[in-house]
């Protein structure tokens, strides 16, 4: 049985976006991870230049979705923090 999830992707800076951390790349890695681990993606959230230091508009929007849809059990995060790994 699959678990429902949200995929959260973000880039903090233009530099990060231009150097291998694009939203499309993060989304593809997380989609692959979700498929491999039998997760059903319900929603994609996040965006460009979203800071991790505070609750921005995009994270508040994701929290609203989580509050409304109790079937969502996981958040898959695509944001890379300067690592070489492809883990979602």
Collapsing DSSP states into helix, strand and coil, what is residue 65? Answer: helix
Domain annotation covers residue 63 = yes
- For residue 5, the surrounding DSSP H or E stretch is strand 3-11
17/59: higher pLDDT = 59
Domain annotation covers residue 85 = no
Domain annotation covers residue 23 = yes
- Give pLDDT tens digits for 43-83: 999 887 656 566 678 888 999 999 999 999 999 998 655 44
Domain annotation covers residue 82 = no
CA 58 and chain centroid, separation: 11
User: What is the count of structural domains for the chain?
Assistant: 1
Domain annotation covers residue 88 = no
Q: What is the CATH number of the domain that holds 18?
A: 3.40.50.1390
Domain annotation covers residue 12 = yes
pLDDT at 34 over 90: yes
Domain annotation covers residue 13 = yes
Nearest to 22 by CA among 53, 54, 49, 60: 49
Domain range spanning residue 10? 3-77
């Amino acid at each position: 049985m699959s678990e429902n999830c949200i995929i959260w992707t973000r880039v903090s800076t233009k530099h990060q976006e231009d150097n291998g951390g694009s939203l499309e790349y993060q989304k593809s890695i997380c989609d692959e991870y979700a498929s491999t681990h039998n997760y059903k993606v319900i929603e994609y959230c996040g965006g460009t230049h979203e800071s991790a230091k505070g609750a921005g508009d995009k994270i508040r929007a994701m929290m609203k979705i989580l509050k409304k849809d109790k079937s969502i059990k996981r958040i898959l995060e695509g944001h890379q923090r300067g690592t070489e790994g492809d883990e979602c």
